[in-house]
Amino acid sequence: MKFNKENYPEYVKKHSEKSKLMPDCIKAFTVGGIICCIGEGLGDIYAFCGMPEQNIKTMIPVTLIFIAAFLTGINVFDKIAEFAGAGTLVPITGFANATVSPALDAKNEGLIIGLGEKIFSVSGAVILYGTLASVIYGIIYYSVKFI
């Protein structure tokens, strides 16, 4: 068989070991579900402490972000994520990890040029397109009100 740029990537794809879709989905669903339960639990605790509804909605993601950032810092998050896949990537924990991990790597290069520049090297795409999407959504939402 003569390989070229067209048929070789297909050949590699065909013969490479595939990710196991079903076990991966179950793991992601379980861990993602547990993270959501923790979020709900946190909400209940804050409500029990008498926190107003509006503040609870802010405090839940803030707490989850803190936990994810802390676990990233003590070299635990990536081990959970290796098992959970999308289970930790999709909730806000994935975003926290994507921001903290490049910051940890860049801290040796200085606070401004190193950490300051590189902290958003992975999560920058989420921030850019998230902001862009919210602007588009806002325009649509605003226009719909006039129709």
Partner 1 sequence: MSGIIELKNRPTILSSATVVGCREHSGPFGDKFDLFDESDSFGKSTWEQSEAEMQRLALQNALDKINFSDSDIDALFAGDLMNQCISSGYGLENYEIPFFGIFGACSTVAEGLVLSSMLVDSSKLSSAAVVTSSHNCSAERQFRFPLEYGGQRTPSSQWTVTGAGAYIISKHCDGFPFISAVLPGIVRDFGISDVSNMGAAMAPVSVILRPYPMRN
Residues of this chain that bind partner 1 (CB under 8 A): 3-6, 8-9, 12, 16-19, 24, 72-73, 75, 77-78, 80-82, 85, 88-89, 94, 97-98, 100-102, 104-105, 108, 121-122
Q: Please return the burial class of 77, using the count of CB atoms within 10 Å of its CB with bins 0-12, 13-18 and 19+.
A: buried
- Provide the minimum distance between the beta carbon of 39 and partner 1 in the complex, in angstroms, as a whole number: 18
What residue type is assigned to position 83 of the chain?
Answer: F
- Provide the minimum distance between the beta carbon of 98 and partner 1 in the complex, in angstroms, as a whole number: 7
Record the tokens describing residue 105, joined without a space: 């790597």
- Provide the minimum distance between the beta carbon of 62 and partner 1 in the complex, in angstroms, as a whole number: 19
- Provide the minimum distance between the beta carbon of 89 and partner 1 in the complex, in angstroms, as a whole number: 7
Q: Smaller CB distance to partner 1: residue 57 or 79?
A: 79
Record the tokens describing residue 84, joined without a space: 């959970």
96/103 Cα distance (integer angstroms)? 11
Q: Smaller CB distance to partner 1: residue 2 or 145?
A: 2
Helix then strand then coil, % of the chain, to nearest 5: 80, 0, 20
Q: Smaller CB distance to partner 1: residue 53 or 82?
A: 82
